[in-house]
Structures are given as C-alpha cells and as structure tokens.
C-alpha cells in the first residue's frame, strides 16, 4: 500500500522540479539531488490502514543555501498533503522532522527530511 504514497511523493517532487529518485541516485549527478527511502508499519486489514515513513535525503557539493532552499520547498509541499489516488486510496503525508547529517566527505553536505505517511484503502470486494 505505501507504494501509492511513494508514487505521490515522487510526482509532487517532479512538479517542484526537484531532482529525486527512490532508493539510490542513478545517472549523472546534478546538485542538489534527493534520494528517498521508506519503511512501513503493520498493515491493519480491518480498515485497510497502514502507516509508514519516507526519508528524503538531500545532497550537494555546492552552497548550503541551495540545499536548504530546495528542502524548504519540500517541507512546504508536505506540511499537510492529502490526496485520493486513482485506485481510491486516501493518503496523508506530513513533515515530521528535518536534520542536517554530517558526512565524512567535508565537501558533501546532507540533509534529511522525514515524512509521516498514512494510507487508507477502500476495498470494494
């Protein structure tokens, strides 16, 4: 189920013209770029409900300001994001945390935005 929420996140970041890929970055690196990771909690079949977390990691070798400005766009977009998917799932995504993460490479800068995901599915069977 969380896959629909991850697709919604990807689509919204695309609309914001943010370079984003899920899992790991593949291809030519353009800074800043963002990579997503996810985890899901237990699925509750009684009401087709599942919670999860998406971690969006941003990287740059440029100025901190470039990375921070892009992360602000992400935080604003997902401050209280809600949508209904084509399959009828309801999705709520909210920003839970923001962290600056040190890197061993002194020139590489990294931030992490944590998004909380709640997803409900309507089962018409």
Say whether pLDDT at 14 is over 70: yes
Whole-number pLDDT of residue 99: 93
Under 8 Å between Cβ of 67 and 32: yes
Say whether pLDDT at 75 is over 80: yes
103 CB-near residues (< 8 Å, 6+ apart): 109, 110
Please give the backbone phi and psi of residue 118, each rounded to the nearest 5 degrees, phi first.
-130, 130
25: left (phi over 0), alpha (psi -120 to 50) or beta: beta
Confidence of residue 70 (pLDDT cuts 50, 70, 90): very high
Q: What is the torsional sign of CA 25, 57, 21, 29?
A: negative
What predicted TM-score, i.e. pTM, was given to this entire model?
Answer: 0.88
Whole-number pLDDT of residue 48: 77
Say whether pLDDT at 41 is over 90: no
Q: Name the residue among 107, 98, 99 with its Cα closest to residue 78.
A: 98
CA distance 26 to 11: 18
């Amino acid at each position: 189920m969380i896959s629909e929420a991850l697709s919604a996140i990807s689509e919204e970041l695309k609309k914001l013209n943010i370079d984003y890929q899920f899992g790991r970055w593949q291809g030519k690196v353009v800074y800043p770029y963002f990579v997503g990771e996810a985890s899901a909690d237990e699925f509750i079949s009684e009401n087709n409900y599942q919670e999860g977390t998406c971690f969006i990691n941003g990287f740059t070798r440029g100025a901190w300001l470039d990375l921070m400005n892009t992360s602000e766009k992400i935080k604003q977009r997902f401050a209280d994001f809600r949508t209904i998917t084509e399959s009828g799932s309801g999705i709520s995504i909210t920003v839970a945390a923001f962290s600056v993460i040190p890197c061993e490479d002194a020139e590489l800068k990294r931030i992490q935005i944590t998004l909380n995901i709640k997803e409900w599915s309507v089962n018409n069977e």
